[in-house]
DNA sequence: TCTGACTAGTCATTTTCATGAGTAGGGAAA
DNA sequence: TTTCCCTACTCATGAAAATGACTAGTCAGA
């Protein structure tokens, strides 16, 4: 049931429409949860029905109207309660790691190709997160911002996302190097 | 559909029974994929039906018989093909990160409690992975083992698991420090 | 003017994951 | 000797996530 809390958490800092929420979750900066558009729309409907958020219609010209949602007091209480529940352990679930597990039994060049793709993606995300962080803290240093900034939650989760992608990248690079070296050694024999 | 490939990859290095597979996936060292016992048993049945693995009955005394599974040539081919397909991007999906996203709106002490729990869990896993790695490489150094060891796939995935948990731990510690400092500053005001 | 992309969504279906309970014999500890 | 844990699984159900198709108007570019 964490999706609903993820949506609540995302709506804390600003009123968003379903579409904007989808963008925030799907495109790029899904730094703290990942979800499909349809899931989000469905969850918004459920959350409103349960009174944890309220929506208001915004009439627009030259484009479809939208509904902006914000968290209610009941929603805030729900989030606070959620914080009290035990967090389940986080775990790895990554296609690419499965492929590497089988590294000794599959084609090395293909695998290196996949790892190279992923390394590039990870690097792009690292840069993106870096930019997001710089934007959030403005002209303050990180220390300064974390000490005295108003809302640090999103910054902290973004830091986790950054470290995760950095870890992804480093691991890919290391793994590529290992596989390359072994392939070269094989040829020499 | 990565679960089936994860199971195949797990069976590459040794013949395992469903129960042993469950232990390997569930308990502790789920370094490259996470899955529920029932999922694994179901997947084994499907894999055998599809001819990607074969099982043989092992009669045991004083305990239930078991079926050991190993990967067939078709299974190996399937894994190789899987390596060729694009890996989907990996993403975060972690309860705790959601809680931190809402940090500015929920009870700080509760949140610090959760983070402390997670930090301890992560630390335990770091140690566990460290031990597993030392066991795998025996008396060789890591460089030595990665260069000349026979099977490095499981070692490489374990390295990823280690880095992930280390990242988890570091982030928790950092986040706790930030929240503590802000709480102290609030009191002084 | 046709194409494709963007905003702002909905509906339906399937696949995957998670949960809990049930079976059945063996061995160890209270 | 009752209770609990370990091996080795199976069955059933429900919740969550992924996939694909569809609507409908606007705008920019070829």
Query: pLDDT by residue (tens digit) across B78-110?
Result: 999 999 999 998 888 999 999 999 999 999 999
Question: Is 90 exceeded by the pLDDT of residue B1?
Answer: no
Residue A28 is predicted with a pLDDT of: 60
Residue A31 is predicted with a pLDDT of: 82
Q: Quote the CA–CA distance of A161 and A164 in Å, as a whole number.
A: 5
Query: pLDDT by residue (tens digit) across B114-153?
Result: 999 999 999 999 999 999 999 999 999 999 999 999 999 9
User: How far does A60 lie from chain B, in Å, by closest CA?
Assistant: 30
Residue B125 is predicted with a pLDDT of: 93
- Mean pLDDT for all residues in chain A: 94
Give percent of chain B above pLDDT 90: 89
Q: Check B86 against A152: CB less than 8 A apart.
A: no
pLDDT band for B163, please (50, 70, 90 cuts): very high
- Mean pLDDT for all residues in chain B: 94
Other C-beta atoms within 10 Å of B143: how many?
A: 11
Residue B186 is predicted with a pLDDT of: 84
Q: Check A86 against B152: CB less than 8 A apart.
A: no
Report the residue from B30, B80, B98 with minimal CB separation from A5: B98
8 A C-beta contact, residue A115 and residue A176: yes
Return the C-alpha torsion angle A99, A101, A105, A106, nearest 10. 20
Q: Which residues of B touch A159 (CB under 8 A)?
A: 171, 174
Question: Is 70 exceeded by the pLDDT of residue A27?
Answer: no
Residue B28 is predicted with a pLDDT of: 60
- Mutate one of A100, A118, A144, A170 to test the B interface: name it (highest B CB count within 10 A): A100
SS3 A96: helix
Map out the domains of chain A as residue ranges.
Answer: 2-84, 95-188
Residue B187 is predicted with a pLDDT of: 81
Residue A92 is predicted with a pLDDT of: 87
Q: Which of B121, B96, B95 is nearest to B175 (CA)?
A: B96
User: How far does B60 lie from chain A, in Å, by closest CA?
Assistant: 30
Query: pLDDT by residue (tens digit) across B16-64?
Result: 999 999 999 876 667 889 999 999 999 999 999 999 999 999 999 889 9
Nucleotides of D under 7 A from a protein CB: 7-12, 15-21, 24-27
Q: May I ask the CATH class of domain B2-84?
A: mainly alpha
Return the C-alpha torsion angle B151, B157, B163, B165, nearest 10. -130
pTM of the model: 0.95
Q: Which residues of A touch B103 (CB under 8 A)?
A: 152-153, 156
Give percent of chain B above pLDDT 70: 98
CA distances from B162 to A68, B34, B166 (A): 42, 15, 6
Q: How far is the CA of A39 from the C1' of D16 (A)?
A: 9
Question: Is 80 exceeded by the pLDDT of residue A51?
Answer: yes
In total, chain A counts a number of residues equal to: 189
Q: Quote the CA–CA distance of B103 and B133 in Å, as a whole number.
A: 36
């Amino acid at each position: 049931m964490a999706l609903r809390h993820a949506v609540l958490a995302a709506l804390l800092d600003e009123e968003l429409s379903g579409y904007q929420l989808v963008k925030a979750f799907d495109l790029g900066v899904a730094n703290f949860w990942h979800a499909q558009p349809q899931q989000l729309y469905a969850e918004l409907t459920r959350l409103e029905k349960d009174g944890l958020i309220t929506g208001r219609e915004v009439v627009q010209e030259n484009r479809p109207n939208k509904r902006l949602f914000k968290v209610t007091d009941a929603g805030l209480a729900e989030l606070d309660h959620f914080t009290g529940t035990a967090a389940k352990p986080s775990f790895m679930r990554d296609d690419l790691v499965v492929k590497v597990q089988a590294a000794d039994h599959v084609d090395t060049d293909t695998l290196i190709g996949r790892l190279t793709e992923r390394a590039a993606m990870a690097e792009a995300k690292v840069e993106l997160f870096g930019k997001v962080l710089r934007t959030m803290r403005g002209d303050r240093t990180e220390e300064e911002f974390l000490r005295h900034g108003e809302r640090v939650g999103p910054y902290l989760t973004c830091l986790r996302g950054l470290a995760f992608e950095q870890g992804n990248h480093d691991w890919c690079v290391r793994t590529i190097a290992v596989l390359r070296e072994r392939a070269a050694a094989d040829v020499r024999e």
